[in-house]
């Protein structure tokens, strides 16, 4: 979509706008163009007046400051009680069955490559996304997440290991959903 403004063509893009301004130089009769790119204003830009009036503007900074203070307090409390800056209980929890967790995570990552032939089939129009492809995608996602939850429960892992596996499964599913939306 091209908009015209004062003899200039403005092309909006997801990252900003491209302005094309044609001109003729005095030494050459050939038509030339000047391209200029204006980036889209982000809500994180300091110059963005819209984000400066946001009532939650400092909330995220306050959250990270609070998290840093909580970490500092926990470290001091652990130093006073144990003589170490941090307690290693969390490390002991996640390394309890680390080999099986690593193999499970590797199997999960390898199974994500099943989406490649699925996407190729969609691109080559062997199957249509609506309704066949959507059913295949959602069935795979349900089975994938259900298997991660079941495996953590079946192995009787601590919440740290089961939570890691389920959160990693969820992040992988978000990547697959993003690929399907791009198509």
Tens-digit pLDDT profile for residues 41-94: 776 676 777 766 767 667 777 888 999 999 999 889 888 888 887 777 767 777
Contacts of 112 (CB under 8 A, 6+ apart): 172, 175, 176
Task: Output DSSP code: residue 130.
Answer: I
User: 115 to each of 70, 122, 175, 181, how far by Cα in Å?
Assistant: 41, 10, 10, 13
Tens-digit pLDDT profile for residues 105-152: 999 999 988 888 888 888 888 998 888 988 998 899 999 999 999 999
- Beta partners for 19? 10, 36
Q: What is the dihedral of CA 138, 144, 146, 149, to 10 degrees?
A: -150
pLDDT for 31 equals: 78
Residue 100: CB atoms within 10 A of its CB come to 13
């Amino acid at each position: 979509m091209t908009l015209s403004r004062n003899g200039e063509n403005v092309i909006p893009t997801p990252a900003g706008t491209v302005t094309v301004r044609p001109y003729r130089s005095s030494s050459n009769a050939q038509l030339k163009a000047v391209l200029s790119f204006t980036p889209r204003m982000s809500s994180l830009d300091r110059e963005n007046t819209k984000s400066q009036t946001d009532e939650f503007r400092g909330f995220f900074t306050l959250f990270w400051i609070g998290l840093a203070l909580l970490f500092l307090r926990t470290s001091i409390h652990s130093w006073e009680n144990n003589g170490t800056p941090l307690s290693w209980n969390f490390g002991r929890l996640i390394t309890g069955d680390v080999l099986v967790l690593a193999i499970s995570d590797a199997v999960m990552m390898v199974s994500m490559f099943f989406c490649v032939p699925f996407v190729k089939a969609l691109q080559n129009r062997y199957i249509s996304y609506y309704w066949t492809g959507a059913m295949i995608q959602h069935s795979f996602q349900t089975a994938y997440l259900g298997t991660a939850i079941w495996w953590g429960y079946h192995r009787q892992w601590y919440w740290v290991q089961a939570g890691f596996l389920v959160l990693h499964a969820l992040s992988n599913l978000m990547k697959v959903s993003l690929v399907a939306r791009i198509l």
